[in-house]
Amino acid sequence: MRILYGVVGEGMGHATRSRVVLEHLLAAGHEVRVVVSGRAHGFLSSRFAGRKGIAFEAIHGLVLGFEGNAVDKSETLRLNLESLPSGLLENIAVYRKVAEDAFEPEVVISDFETWAYLYGLNHRLPVISIDNMQVLNRCRHDAEVTEGRSAAFRLAKALVKGKLPFAWHYLVASFFFPPVRKKKTTLIPPILRPEILSAKREPGSHVLVYQTAASNAALIPTLQTLPYEFRLYGMGREGREGNVTLKAFSETGFIDDLRTARAAVAGGGFSLMGEAVHLHVPLMSLPISGQFEQVLNARYLERLGYGAHAEQLDADSIAAFIARSDEHAHALSRYVPHDNGMLFGCVDELLRRVAAGEDAPDALDAPAMGKYGDEADAPDADDTDD
C-alpha cells in the first residue's frame, strides 16, 4: 500500500517509535511518504538514507518553550507566532507537492501529527493513530491518578481528544493498561527500538541520571552529597566531578549504562520510561510541569511500584528513591517484557482491513494488551464521543 506517515517533531520519542513502525512497513513491501518536523526530520531521514520505498518531507510543527522544568506558555506562544507565517508557507508547499505528484496515498498513519491527519481528512482517507498520548482520552482512569478528574487532567484530556478526532483506529502504546473505554482503540506494549530489545539486564551499582536542562547548576552539587556513583547525561560536557561522571550522549553508551544501572533518574518522557520498565530498571520520574500526560505516566509508574514520581530533584527525594530500589526491582520482576509483535500484528490487520475496503473495526482480532469490549462494567457517559 501507499502510506502517508506523519511524525510530530516535538520530543524525540515520536521519532524513535516511528522508526520501528517504518522499518516494519518497508519490510512488508509498503511504499511510504513521511512528513515530519523538527529534530525528528534529521533523525529519521538520516536513518533511512538511501533506502528504497521511503521519502521524507520536512514540515513546520509547533514547538514548546520551557523555563526550568516547566512549560513556559508565554515563550511557547511567542516562538510559534514568530514562525507561523513562514511555517504556513512551508506546509502549503509540501501539501501541494504531496497532492500533485503521483504518490496518491491510500491510508494515513499519524504519530500525534496534525498535518498528515488533515491531509487524510481532506482526501477522505482512513487515518490510523499510533502514539502513547491517547491513553489520556480513550481509557478509564480512577481518581487516584487524575486527582479526582482535576482541571489539569480534564484540560489535557480535551487537548489530546481534539488532536486527532475520529481516526479510523487508535493504537495506544503503554506500560500500564487501564480499561479501554472507547471503540476503535487498542492498547499495545511500549514500542521499543531493536537496541533495547537486544539489551540484557545486568544490574550494577551506578545510578543513571538523564537531565534535559543543561542549565540546572544545582544538580551536580546535589548528587555529590549522596554516597552513590552517578552517570549523568545531558549536561553538554564530559568529565568526572567526584562521584559524578558526566557523559556525552551516545546511543550505545546510554543503553549500556541503562541496562546495567542500579536505578535511573529522568524526566517524564514516555519512551525512556517504557524502556526502563521493559528492562526492569527502577526509575524516578520528574515530569515537566504543565504536561499532565507525563504526570499520569509517572503516577502509574509509582502506583505499580516500578519507581517514584517526584516534583523536584533534591538530595532527600533521590536518596529515598535509591533506598527503595530493591523494592521497585521486585515489583518490576512481575512485568512481562514484550517485543513489537503485538504492534506489528495490529498494524498488519488494520492495513489488510483498509485494503479490503472494510469499515473501521471497534476491536481488532490481533492479540493486544487491551481492547474495547474487554471490560464488562458500564461505560462512561461520554464513551460514544471521540
Give the mean pLDDT of the chain.
88
Choosing from 313, 332, 351, the residue where a domain stops is 332
Q: What is the pLDDT of residues 133-190, one digit of tens each?
A: 999 999 999 998 988 778 889 999 999 999 899 999 999 999 999 999 999 999 999 9
Residues 310 and 344 in one domain: no
Residues 19 and 88 in one domain: yes
**Residue 84 belongs to domain spanning:** 2-193+340-371
Look at residue 386 and tell me if it is in a domain. Answer: no
pLDDT at residue 160, rounded to an integer: 93
Rounded to whole angstroms, the Cα distance separating 276 from 259 reads 8
pLDDT at residue 66, rounded to an integer: 40
Q: How far is CA 371 from the centre of its chain?
A: 20
Higher pLDDT, 149 or 213: 149
Neighbour count for residue 66 (Cβ, 10 Å):
15
Residues 62 and 188 in one domain: yes
Mean pLDDT of all residues in 332-351 = 98
Residues 172 and 265 in one domain: no
Look at residue 228 and tell me if it is in a domain. Answer: yes
Look at residue 19 and tell me if it is in a domain. Answer: yes
Residues 206 and 180 in one domain: no
Q: What is the pLDDT of residues 52-107, one digit of tens each?
A: 999 998 886 544 444 444 444 554 444 334 444 455 555 555 656 665 577 899 99
- pLDDT of 362 over the 80 cut: yes
pTM of the model: 0.89
Residues 204 and 311 in one domain: yes
Residues 161 and 306 in one domain: no
With 0-12 / 13-18 / 19 or more C-beta atoms within 10 angstroms meaning exposed / middle / buried, residue 122 is exposed
Choosing from 332, 354, 379, the residue where a domain stops is 332
Q: How many domains, the chain?
A: 2
Task: Kindly report the CATH number assigned to the domain that includes residue 365.
Answer: 3.40.50.2000
Residues 93 and 135 in one domain: yes
Residues 124 and 227 in one domain: no
pLDDT at residue 225, rounded to an integer: 97
- ∠ at Cα 91 (184, 116), nearest 5°? 15
Residues 86 and 187 in one domain: yes
Look at residue 379 and tell me if it is in a domain. Answer: no
Look at residue 384 and tell me if it is in a domain. Answer: no
Rounded to whole angstroms, the Cα distance separating 105 from 236 reads 41
Higher pLDDT, 81 or 368: 368
Look at residue 381 and tell me if it is in a domain. Answer: no
Residues 67 and 131 in one domain: yes
Residues 306 and 242 in one domain: yes
Look at residue 378 and tell me if it is in a domain. Answer: no
Choosing from 311, 332, 353, the residue where a domain stops is 332
Look at residue 44 and tell me if it is in a domain. Answer: yes
